[in-house]
């Protein structure tokens, strides 16, 4: 109750002065709220706004009362007014609006406001509530939110994305993102560790070690960095430093599941298989991960490499039960049983839960579709390709380089460019395979893909004609048109490339092509054979209305210039014993 001063009251000590300002009405509004008198509270908050129209808090209080009363539209109108006219930096308004939209079942709008709040709010005052609301919205919309970053957790969302890229084997993209994170958050140690791994998988040891040194500078006891450094030192051949670091690691007994796994894999990579086996055995006792077939393979590999064949047999059998569709446990069980039957040691087993590289190449022979799917979905396999290109022997490098042409993605183009630019290949055939694969992937001129010195060396990239003639193009067009619906786009592209390579090898002495049908039939035949399709000279001749001998003669002429045999690992080429005339 406000008491007014009486005109007859001359005793100033009995007068209670009342200042009608925003604070006065704010306090009255709060008392009304305590009594659940929302109408009175709203009235008093409105009066507070009248006294201080530029104070965003008063407006937000009024919006909050309207929301409590179920008038979500009016509440959002006030919040929008605050952001647009009074204080755009008051980011919590986006959170309040998200809740209003969710109560109105406008879930798309709610998501938009919530994402804006998370991306713009620096304090993270409503992070817990935002996570709950995000779960609700993901359930209602049946999809994850398109959240790019959380400002109050700078780098966390980006780091999760970078980790996903690493798991997918997309190392160049992961590097790019992790470098951005570190530039803005230099104390984000997990990002430094993962950047080191990405560089390591790409074979860039110096950069990888530089990243780890930064982690250990900030946190000398960081287990992930210490384990990674041990692996890097082994590959660098620094035995003295490695022995010192290993002594410390072997005396460490990690507690957290993540640290136990890191220690186990590190010991395995470093050849301390007995220690690795001990750590993997600890993990198998953890119910949370004990159903993982891959973990049983790791344990089996450690046991086998330690000579504990009975334990290895048990673990691979369990892996086979948990993952019956995988060929990995069955392969190693067969290898182990064969070794025991012949009373000889089991060959060293990789800890990667996949078939040995050469075994995979055998299985992919003639099946580019399966090969493409495997490489795209298996990050360990992609990583092994990087390693093979940089550190494998000539035979392995050649097979991998030739195979990569079938993996049509930007990353593989970058890998091949890196091989050509940073590690020039010394053998002509290896150089030829790299250039051919890159051409197959990006469809550009071979000389543009290689450094200048390699343009001179490349045996497979003859200088092409300055002008492409109409009769040369006519043969391509006719062949591709005849191949339509029976061949996919990549196979038609290969036919075009073979023909362009053929013309380039003949230039400038390119003859006049009089029998288009014969050349087209030969070109389709070679493309079909390249992809393992069962096409005979007779079938190709009938399709184009020419003689069998013409197709055979023209195909051999093209093959002699382009060497189409061996373009795909395992193809037999055009030897007389394999052709069916």
54 and 110 co-located in one domain: yes
261: in domain: no
Please state, rounded to an integer, the average pLDDT across all residues of the chain. Answer: 75
Run of H or E residues at 151: none
Distance from CA of residue 574 to its chain's centroid?
A: 39
274: in domain: no
Other residues' Cβ atoms within 10 Å of the Cβ of residue 217: 10
* Neighbouring-strand partners of residue 487: 484
**Alpha-carbon distance 454 to 514, whole Å?**
36
| pLDDT confidence tier of residue 415, bands split at 50, 70 and 90 | low
**Final residue belonging to a domain, choices 120, 152, 184:** 152
Distance from CA of residue 524 to its chain's centroid?
A: 36
**Alpha-carbon distance 399 to 388, whole Å?**
9
210 and 163 co-located in one domain: yes
pLDDT of residue 521: 93
Does position 407 have pLDDT exceeding 70, yes or no? no
Planar angle of CA 349, 352, 353, nearest 5 degrees: 100
400 and 511 co-located in one domain: no
Does position 293 have pLDDT exceeding 70, yes or no? yes
pLDDT of residue 8: 46
**Alpha-carbon distance 456 to 463, whole Å?**
10
Query: Residue 529: phi, psi to the nearest 5?
Result: -65, -35
198: in domain: yes
**Final residue belonging to a domain, choices 117, 133, 152:** 152
pLDDT of residue 91: 86
**Alpha-carbon distance 509 to 513, whole Å?**
12
pLDDT of residue 72: 92
297: in domain: no
Question: Which has more confidence, 452 or 140?
Answer: 140
**Alpha-carbon distance 170 to 377, whole Å?**
11
Does position 212 have pLDDT exceeding 80, yes or no? yes
Task: Name the residue among 226, 231, 227, 222 with its Cα closest to residue 270.
Answer: 231
567: in domain: no
> What is the pLDDT averaged over residues 93-114?
90
Task: Name the residue among 318, 313, 265, 263 with its Cα closest to residue 296.
Answer: 318
Count of domains forming the chain: 4
Most confident of 13-17, 34-38, 280-284, 439-443: 280-284
Count Cβ atoms within 10 A of the Cβ of residue 14 and give its class: 0-12 exposed, 13-18 middle, 19 or more buried.
exposed
Does position 105 have pLDDT exceeding 50, yes or no? yes
| pLDDT confidence tier of residue 298, bands split at 50, 70 and 90 | very high
pLDDT of residue 320: 92
Query: Residue 256: phi, psi to the nearest 5?
Result: -70, 145
Q: Where are the alpha helices (DSSP H) in 458-536?
A: 470-483, 489-506, 516-530
pLDDT of residue 574: 33
Dihedral sign of CA atoms 47, 52, 53, 55 in order? negative
Query: Residue 487: phi, psi to the nearest 5?
Result: -130, 155
Query: What are the distances in angstroms from CA 91 to CA 54, 57, 65, 526, 553?
Result: 16, 12, 19, 64, 75
Which has the minimum average pLDDT: 241-255, 389-403, 453-467? 453-467
101 and 188 co-located in one domain: no
> What is the pLDDT averaged over residues 379-387?
63
Model confidence pLDDT, tens digit, residues 314-373:
999 999 999 998 888 999 999 998 888 888 888 888 888 877 766 766 666 555 566 666
84 and 36 co-located in one domain: yes
| Domain CATH for 109 | 1.25.40.10
**Alpha-carbon distance 387 to 408, whole Å?**
19
**Alpha-carbon distance 52 to 209, whole Å?**
59
Which has the minimum average pLDDT: 10-14, 28-32, 124-128, 254-258? 10-14
| SS3 per-residue string spanning 385-407 | HHHHHHHCCHHHHHHHHHHHHHC
575: in domain: no
32 and 146 co-located in one domain: yes
109 and 87 co-located in one domain: yes
pLDDT of residue 152: 46
**Final residue belonging to a domain, choices 237, 252, 267:** 252
The domain in which residue 451 lies consists of 357-457
Other residues' Cβ atoms within 10 Å of the Cβ of residue 543: 18
Does position 160 have pLDDT exceeding 90, yes or no? no
Buried b (16+ CB within 10 A) or exposed e, 70-90: eebebbbebbeebbeebbeeb
Task: Name the residue among 293, 227, 287 with its Cα closest to residue 262.
Answer: 227
Cis peptide before 508 (omega within 30 of 0): yes
573: in domain: no
103 and 207 co-located in one domain: no
> What is the pLDDT averaged over residues 499-518?
83
- In sequence order, what are the residues at sequence separation of 6 or more whose Cβ sits closer than 8 angstroms to the Cβ of residue 527? 483, 487, 491, 492, 494, 495, 498
Are 405 and 441 spatial neighbours (Cβ–Cβ below 8 Å)? yes
140 and 206 co-located in one domain: no
578: in domain: no
110 and 190 co-located in one domain: no
Buried b (16+ CB within 10 A) or exposed e, 275-295: bbbbbbebbbeeeeeeebbbb
Question: Which has more confidence, 61 or 74?
Answer: 74
* Neighbouring-strand partners of residue 234: none
| Domain CATH for 498 | 1.10.472.10
Q: Looking at residue 545, what DSSP letter applies?
A: T
449 and 480 co-located in one domain: no
């Amino acid at each position: 109750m406000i008491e007014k001063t009486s005109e007859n009251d001359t005793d100033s000590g009995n007068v209670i002065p009342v200042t009608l300002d925003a604070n006065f009405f704010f306090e009255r509004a709060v008392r009304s709220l305590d009594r659940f008198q929302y109408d009175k509270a709203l009235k008093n908050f409105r009066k507070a706004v009248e006294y201080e129209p530029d104070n965003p808090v008063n407006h937000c209080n009024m919006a909050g009362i309207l929301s409590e009363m179920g008038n979500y539209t009016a509440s959002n109108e006030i919040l929008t007014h605050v952001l647009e006219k009074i204080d755009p930096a008051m980011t919590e308004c986006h959170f309040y609006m998200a809740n209003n939209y969710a109560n109105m079942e406008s879930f798309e709008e709610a998501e938009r406001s919530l994402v804006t709040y998370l991306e713009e709010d620096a304090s993270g005052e409503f992070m817990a509530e935002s996570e709950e609301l995000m779960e609700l919205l993901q359930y209602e919309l049946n999809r994850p939110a398109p959240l790019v970053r959380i400002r109050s957790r700078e780098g966390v969302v980006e780091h999760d994305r970078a980790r996903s890229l690493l798991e997918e084997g997309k190392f160049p993209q992961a590097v790019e993102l992790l470098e951005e994170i570190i530039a803005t958050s230099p104390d984000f140690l997990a990002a430094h560790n993962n950047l080191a791994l990405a560089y390591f998988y790409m074979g860039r040891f110096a950069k990888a070690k530089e990243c780890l040194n930064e982690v250990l500078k900030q946190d000398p006891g960081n287990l992930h960095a210490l384990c990674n450094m041990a692996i890097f030192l082994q590959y660098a051949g620094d035995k003295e430093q490695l022995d010192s670091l290993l002594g410390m690691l072997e005396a460490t007994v990690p507690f957290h599941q993540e640290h136990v796994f890191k220690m186990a894999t590190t010991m395995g990579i470093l050849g301390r298989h007995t220690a690795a086996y001990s750590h993997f055995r600890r993990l198998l006792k953890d119910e949370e991960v004990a159903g993982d077939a891959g973990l049983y393979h790791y344990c089996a590999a450690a046991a086998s490499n330690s000579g504990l064949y009975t334990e290895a047999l048990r673990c691979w059998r369990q892996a086979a039960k948990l993952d019956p569709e995988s060929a990995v446990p069955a392969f190693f069980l067969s290898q182990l049983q064969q070794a025991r039957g012949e009373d000889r040691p089991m060959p060293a087993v990789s800890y990667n839960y996949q078939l040995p590289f050469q075994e995979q190449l055998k299985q992919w022979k003639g099946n580019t579709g399966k090969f493409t799917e495997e490489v795209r979905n298996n990050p360990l396999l992609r990583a092994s390709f990087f390693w093979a290109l940089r550190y494998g022997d000539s035979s392995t490098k050649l097979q991998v380089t030739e195979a990569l042409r079938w993996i049509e993605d930007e990353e593989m183009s970058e890998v091949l460019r890196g091989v050509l630019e940073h590690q020039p290949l010394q053998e002509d055939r290896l150089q030829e395979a790299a250039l051919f694969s890159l051409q197959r992937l990006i469809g550009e001129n071979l000389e543009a893909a290689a450094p200048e010195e390699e343009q001179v060396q490349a045996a497979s990239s003859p200088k092409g004609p300055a002008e492409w003639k109409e009769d040369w193009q006519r043969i391509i067009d006719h062949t591709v048109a005849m191949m339509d619906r029976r061949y996919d786009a990549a196979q038609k592209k290969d036919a075009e490339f073979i023909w362009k390579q053929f013309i380039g090898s003949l230039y400038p002495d390119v003859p006049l092509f009089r029998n288009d049908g014969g050349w087209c039939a030969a070109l389709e035949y070679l493309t079909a054979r390249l992809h393992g399709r069962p096409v005979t000279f007779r079938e190709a001749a009938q399709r184009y209305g020419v003689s069998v001998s013409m197709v055979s003669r023209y195909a051999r002429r093209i093959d002699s210039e382009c060497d189409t045999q061996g373009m795909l690992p395992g193809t037999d080429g055009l030897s007389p014993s394999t052709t069916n005339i």
